[in-house]
Structure 1
Amino acid sequence: MYVFDYDDGLQRRRNRRLLISIVFEAARETLQLLARAAYGVICQWTSFILFIVVQVTPFWAIIYLYYTLWPNIFDEVHWLILAIPVLIVTYITRSLFTLALGLFHSFAVRRWGRAYARRIPRWMISEQLQDTTRDLKLSFSNSATFYRGVLWLFRQPQRWRESRNQPPENVCMVCHNLDPDRHCRYTPENGNIQYRDLLSTYRDCAICATLHAAVCRFYPPADTSNAFFYQWKRYQPGDDIILVWNKHKKMITIELKNIVAVWPRMTFYCLGKGLDLPLISSPRAAVDDTRSESTMHRVLSWITECTTDHENCSRNQPHPLPDRVLDLGNSPNSPIKLVETRNELGYYACLSHRWGSKQPLRTLSGNKDAFMAGIHMAALPKTFQEAVTVCRQLSLRYFWVDSLCIVQDSVDEWERQLPKMANIYENAFLTIAATKANGHEEGLHPNGESRTVYLERIPAHEIGHGVSEDVYVRLEYQDKGGIRHWDIQSPDQQHEEEWPLLTRAWVFQERLLSPRMLHFAKRELVWECRTGVFCDCGREHDDKADDLEFRRLVSSKSIKTTNATPLQLRALWYAIVERYSRLMGNLTVESDAFPALAGLASRISGLLEDEYVAGLWRSNMVEGLLWARKNETPDNRPVRPKSWRAPSWSWASITDEISYKHNTTSGWFRPELHEIYAAVEDVECVPTGSQRTGPISSAALTLSGWVSHASVRARHTERRNWYTDELTVQVDCDLVWQHDGHESSLRPDHPEDVVDGETVLCLRLARIDKRDWYLVLVRDTQSPGSFRRWGLYEGADVTWEWTSMESWRRRAEQRYHEEKRV
């Protein structure tokens, strides 16, 4: 018989000791947290002060030395010449200081050892300073701009005092000769010109006369179909009609005070050698018919300029022809034949087009021999006919069209041609794009009613003041009926009504790989190459836009260099996937998700010397898993393909836009990937054919790492779209950790499959910046013992969540029982 001796007082004392231990543990770790945060702030401010002392002080010292030795130096010497010594001295000073810190750290470690490392860790002296200075220090170009502004501060007071009472001679008091510096000195509107002021000066100034005549051409407006013209017709000449001058784009924007609208813009051209007026753009004619002879002259001038003057574009050299091409002959009446080239060299053009609802003329196993004998021009669809005419006008004998140069009903043919797509488009001399056409029967050229251009001529005698040539003014209105230029919207997000071709997923790699592309848009011609974008209206576009930089990175001239590291190539691939995912939902055949990108995948696979596995790379599978749906508020509309095309862990398993969570070439401000936790044990991928970049039949991935159980808490909310009046169901999900009950929001891959209360498994993948990322998994009911991806979750490192009440209680109990055993 066992006798139990129970002491109630002893038990209460033990409970009090346990409670005191929990309170003590919480207080101690809270103080540690505050101390670490304060210490981090002190280190950051220390690094900032060191940065000011080391890098900014020499700058001001040199400026002061400039001003002391040569008081008028800021008026007599160009600002860039003055900035270069400043840049050199500041960078040398910073380098010497960083070197001194490194030597001090090495000496301190040897002299004081671990005691020094504990009291002044290395990151305070070197890494923290480097991070702070990297964030604060501008690049050379931005630094030069900053120094220009500082030098301008020294120069402007003196210039302002000199011109305060009397403006310079031969300067108009209204337009100030469109000089921004003079605008800043004389007008309170910072460069804006009131139309009512032109009424008193257009007889004395050529620029004012040109602006006045241009406004009179369009005011009062006869067309009131858009919002601006409707409001403008109600204005009187004395009302607040404001002309805003843009020096860099050489255009005038017309604004109406107190009216919110999309402002029209005026650009000015001269067909001769040009006038000595700052508002005259490049002497290019703006024509209305893309079939005209002058249009072809403009295209030829673009080609000549691209092949001779553009540093980023390929030169005029022959390349191997595709396996089959259309031979157009040497004359306009020559027969068109399908020929096999056998690796011959030459110049050829490609056609980028949409097939549309009806399939175009195609080469099949049964009609290939007949096409090699000859194809009648009348048998070709309208788009093909007009593209053949353009090739002949540009003296291009060979022409490649996918539907005619690839045997469409041969699976073996497609498997051979898919890896060659990259070379076909990159080696083409020119790619002709039917950008405005929804199908092959619409043709290249815009119809008359869609090409509305407000173009007026101002005779030279009407302007006067020595102007000897007529001036053409073009009014552009950014509305549904106006011209949408490519510097206004990203080329990967074009309006479907304006540029339907660019919504096609297959065209994505065609645009990236083509050295030069001629777009027949809805309202004008657009030339696109790796140097810039040019419209037939003469508009100047930004040659440093993100899309152009991206195309230069993909080009073989840039990518096939010894400086391209595997890390840079993988980042480039992730950026490609992000942009391509915007278009995957438009695939007519859903299984084409991998084939439509096979050309780029084959190229990067060869450069990386890595195996392509369902859109990822075998040597870096875990990093490739760090993708998620970009849609911030997912609804319950299905994003899963109707038939299986990729495993759940591949970005191709959904039809929505995705984004990678770490830094890529298309996301310069994303955090860096610091550490990878999970490990790849095995990966299997079975392609349907012989090409690993093509479609696949099955794939499996085996990972190992730390896992934790959690449950899903879902909320379904109905929302109505204000624009389309469409009713959707928004799905908001929270992840509830089972070990401590902590809740965090997450984004599922397939909102339509979310079940409230479902148990999931979270596998810790990697650390990005200061956050851990987890792969959320659920059991695959169709394959016992396997899991499928459910989503991606961003959270703290729950394996050491030392600030939670649960962890305080657990460690206090552990310490209490250890003391009891002692």
Structure 2
Amino acid sequence: MGSIYQNSYITVSATNSGNGSARCLVERRKPIKIPYENTTKKEFALRARKILDHHPAADPNGGPARPVGPLTFRAWALQEHVLSTRVLHYTATELLFECKTTYRCECMPDRKAYPTTPSLIPKAVASKKLESVWQAWERIVEQYSLRALTVPSDKLPAISGIASKIRKAAHSEYLAGLWKGNLALDLLWHASIPPASSGSAFALETWRAPSFSWASLDVAINYTLLDDEERETFTPTVTLLASSITPTGLNPMGAVSSGSLTLRGPTTTATLSSDQSPEDCTYTLLIKGTSTIRITQDCCLVEISFKNEEGGQGNTVRRAQPGEPLGQLRVSVLCLSVARYDNVVAGLVLGVSEQNPKAWERVGTFAVGTEAFQNAEEKEVILV
């Protein structure tokens, strides 16, 4: 499907329609008419109509235009928007046009170059900077994570067309939503859960992707935002030793049935604690010799027991399923350093996998001062 939109001359988007049975053409709200007289008693009429804030940023480096309508909340529609060369949007208030260089609407007729969604990937590729390609992907995934799917298993297929474009531009291996060529930054995605709803984010009931992938959850996600100085000092501390991603079908960028990464990097054990309740899920991490810090959890977590390799019992933590009781926890976890920048160590909080006690599952991310990893142990870690 991605090639269809990519090769279309123009894509007509029913942006005001949430599904195939909703109307595309709607009756417009009539403008307000205000009659008035000037100083010479000549009669005039002032007309005004309400418009939606869909305009692009005035800054050429700012965000793209924001067409408004039910279609903008559907996950599949994003790659149609990104891959199309030109898009004509039918919205509730007016027609909007986007191409790779500009954006025009009925309420903003000036001819200027503006950032648009169809220009995201072409501009990144034209810059000939690999970093620009990764940043375009990150921006797209962040927007994609805000959208809804009717079929949950479509999480990776619905963005596979865009992933194919990125692969051609970056010549990098795709790892269930992550890229081998940008692995450290990609691993550091984090869930963006507002405090008011922190108790309502849970793991999926049906497995969809390995825990290291943002596709394993249905939450809004963000990537680590680095300023220029931090980007210059950003240094990966993990090495990818092996990867195994098994697609469920013929599309190598689509749905997966299993996945694992074997990494080597600095690790340290820590204690994860929480007095969580259904209304508030917050977690603190204590690494020996440092002060307590807050982690960014992937969702609500629960403490569980598991059988270790020797056949004994141990305790670990994993993402909570909907309906599971939440309560206090205090459990040992593994912290894996993924990168260093500006005297900060950023990494993953890991719990032992229930299915494979030799492997680990991601439960959140952390950022601490470099002193916390002074006595870290280089270790080989399998993420699933």
Q: TM-score, normalised by structure 1?
A: 0.39
Which of 598, 623, 626 is the aligned partner of 2:188? 626
Change (3 A) 1:560 1:669: closer
After superposition, the Cα gap between the structure-2 partners of 1:492 and 1:734, relative to the gap in structure 1 and judged at 3 Å, is farther
**Structure-2 residue corresponding to 1:431:** 11
Q: Which has the higher contact order (CA 8 A, sep 6+)?
A: 2
Residue type at the aligned position of 2:121: V
Separation in 1, partners of 2:40, 2:121: 51
**Structure with the bigger percentage of strand:** 2
Q: SS in structure 2 opposite 1:576?
A: helix
Counterpart of 1:122? Answer: none
1:552 aligns with 2:125: no
Q: What CA distance in whole angstroms lies between the structure 1 residues aligned with 2:339 and 2:230?
A: 12
C-alpha displacement at 1:473, in angstroms? 2.9
**What's the TM-score, normalizing by structure 2?**
0.80
In structure 2, what is the Cα distance between the partners aligned to 1:746 and 1:560? 35
> How far apart, CA to CA, are the structure 1 residues paired with 2:299 and 2:204?
11
Query: Which of residues 504, 508, 518 is equivalent to 2:74?
Result: 504
Distance across 2 between alignment mates of 1:530 and 1:753:
47
Q: Which amino acid aligns with 1:684?
A: S
Match of 2:240 among 680, 683, 701: 680
The equivalent residue for 2:294 is 745
CA contact (8 A) 1:636 1:752 kept: no
- Compute the displacement of 1:575 (Å): 2.1
C-alpha distance in structure 2 between counterparts of 1:670 and 1:523, whole Å: 43
Deviations 1:570-597, CA, capped at 9 Å, x for gaps: 22222222221121xx111111111111
- 2: CA distance between counterparts of 1:440 and 1:528? 22
Write 1 or 2 for the structure with the bigger share of helix.
1
Q: Which amino acid aligns with 1:601?
A: A
Structure 1 stretches lacking a partner, 5+ long: 1-417, 478-482, 718-727, 802-822
Matched with 1:533 is 103
Deviation at 1:623, TM superposition (A): 2.8
Aligned to 1:514: 84
Cα separation, 2, equivalents of 1:800 and 1:753: 29
Determine the structure 2 residue equivalent to 1:764: 337
1:230-277 Cα shifts (integer Å, max 9, x gaps): xxxxxxxxxxxxxxxxxxxxxxxxxxxxxxxxxxxxxxxxxxxxxxxx
- Quick check: 1:641 aligned with 2:234? no
Q: Which of the numbers 282, 286, 307 marks the counterpart of 1:732?
A: 282
Q: 1:488 to 1:474 in 2, by over 3 A?
A: farther
Residues 492 and 595 of structure 1: CA distance in aligned 2, closer, same or farther (over 3 Å): farther
Percent of aligned pairs sharing the same letter? 28
Aligned partner of 1:606 in structure 2 is 168
Q: Deviations for 1:356-390, whole angstroms, at most 9, x for unmatched residues?
A: xxxxxxxxxxxxxxxxxxxxxxxxxxxxxxxxxxx
Residues 446, 520 of structure 1: 8 Å contact kept: no
Q: Secondary structure at the match of 2:283?
A: strand
Instruction: Quote the Cα distance in structure 2 between the aligned partners of 1:670 and 1:600.
Output: 30
Amino acid at match of 1:681: L
Instruction: Name the counterpart of 1:582.
Output: 146
Contact kept, 8 Å, 1:638 with 1:752, in 2: the verdict is no
Matched, 1:593 2:142: no
Runs of 5+ consecutive residues of structure 2 not aligned to the other structure: 58-62, 304-327, 376-384
Is the Cα–Cα contact under 8 Å of residues 686 and 699 in structure 1 kept in the other structure? yes
How far does the alpha carbon of each residue in 1:39-90 deviate from its partner, in whole angstroms, 9 at most, with x for none? xxxxxxxxxxxxxxxxxxxxxxxxxxxxxxxxxxxxxxxxxxxxxxxxxxxx
Letter in 2 for 1:715: D
Structure 1 position 656 matched with structure 2 position 219: yes
Which residue of the other structure, out of 548, 554, 566, is the alignment partner of 2:130?
A: 566
Number of residue pairs matched by the alignment: 343
Counterparts in 2 of 1:137-176, with a 5 A limit? none
In structure 2, relative to structure 1, the CA distance for the partners of 1:549 and 1:437 (3 Å cut) is closer
Tell me, yes or no, if the aligned pair for 1:629 and 1:657 is still in contact at 8 Å. yes
Residues 1:474 and 2:47 aligned together: yes
Q: Does 1:710 align with 2:270?
A: yes
Equivalent position amino acid for 1:699 in 2 = G
- Indicate yes or no: 2:361 matched with 1:788: yes
State the Cα RMSD in Å: 3.0
In structure 1, which of residues 486, 490, 495 is the aligned counterpart of residue 54 of structure 2?
486
Letter in 2 for 1:514: S
Q: Which residue of 1 aligns with 2:322?
A: none
Structure 1 residues 438 and 611: CA distance shift in structure 2, 3 A: same
Contact 1:612 1:693 in 2 (8 A): yes
Q: Hey, what does 2:373 align to over in structure 1?
A: 799
Query: Structure 1 residues 593, 542: CA separation in 2 closer, same or farther (over 3 Å shift)?
Result: farther
Counterpart CA distance in 1 for 2:34 and 2:194 is 50
Letter in 1 for 2:130: P
Query: Aligned letter for 2:133?
Result: L
CA distance in 2, matches of 1:492, 1:792: 31
2: CA distance, partners of 1:463 / 1:621: 66
In structure 2, give the amino acid aligned to 1:581.
Answer: S
- SS of 2:250's partner is coil
**1:691 to 2:271 alignment:** no
